[in-house]
Structure 1
Amino acid sequence: MEKSTISDDQQALHMEERAIADIYRARKERRRRILRENVPLFIRNRERILADDKMARCHIDCIRFGLAYSGEWNVPVAFLGGLLRLWEKPMFQAECPKCHETAYCTGGGGSPLSGAKSVAMTCGSCGHRFTTSATKADKNAIAFGRSLIAAINSSNAGLGSMDDESLPIEDVVHLLELEESNAK
């Protein structure tokens, strides 16, 4: 009888690791959806979020930027407060084609060869989601990606460290929605 090259325990470990990776992937997709759907909520409550350390340090680990042929870039985790600061920069804004108010960057990608980019945007007023190649400060895809990463790092400054206590995005959205409904 031939002995297996993988033990039962090793096989169980590999199955668990695949299951955990699937759970993290699903969580990241859910959080990406939550971020995009709640940009107007975050914009309306900007001062409230920045005044609450736990909300301001909410980890936004779902911003994606990728380039054709080279894959997804390792975008640093942004704090929600840092993201609100980042959105103040014209480079990460565009005009919403639906209501003509300001929309904000929630990710993007492009081509390292042509320099063309596609930036995922969500309107801070009407919530309309769209992609555009034109932001208020136009750059090619590589320059935009580098600027995004640098801006996330600088926007997080002064908000604390990743180890400090924070609220998950799901809790931040729930609390803000409760506060808004109680105020009505």
Structure 2
Amino acid sequence: MKLSEKLKADIKHLTTSSVGGKPKPAFILFFIKKAVRIVVIYRVLNHFYLNRNKVALLLLSPLKLYFRLMTSRYCTDISYKTKIGPGFKLNHSYGIIVNIRSTIGENVYLGHNVTVGSNSPSKFPKIGNNVTIFPGSIIIGDVTIGDNVTIGAGSLVVKDVPANTVVGGHPSKILRTLSNIDI
């Protein structure tokens, strides 16, 4: 997938509001929302990293430094080397930790204070497509989150989550299974 297509998917997801109302143009959001800047800069750096374009990454060193400073300032630990599909959305970029070896699918939303981490050197979460992870959730270990999953606020996910479900709790359990009508 081209960089422009990934950026379009990210921007489309970033400019949609869960509250409703008229979305702001992407270039305005880039300047006023730090979460938008983090996602856009992540996407550019990630594209050149995945394509092994060392020259571009060298030329983008100032951008890499700015990305590192921004993520550090907002206590967000997302590496540009992490594999995240298009349509990535952060609403508030505070306290988000994503393990570098985790994989995240398309159209994924991460709320603030979300941890996607490892409990051993070889076990990392895999998150599917169209997943919403609400604030304060922790996904840790060798777990697979299926497609079309919603993880409630403050949940601890240590076991696989099947597709088309809503989970919550500490530890998490299935609260609801979504039908085709709900999706």
- Give the TM-score normalised by structure 2: 0.24
Q: Which structure's relative contact order is higher, taking Cα pairs within 8 Å and 6+ residues apart?
A: 1
- Give the TM-score normalised by structure 1: 0.24
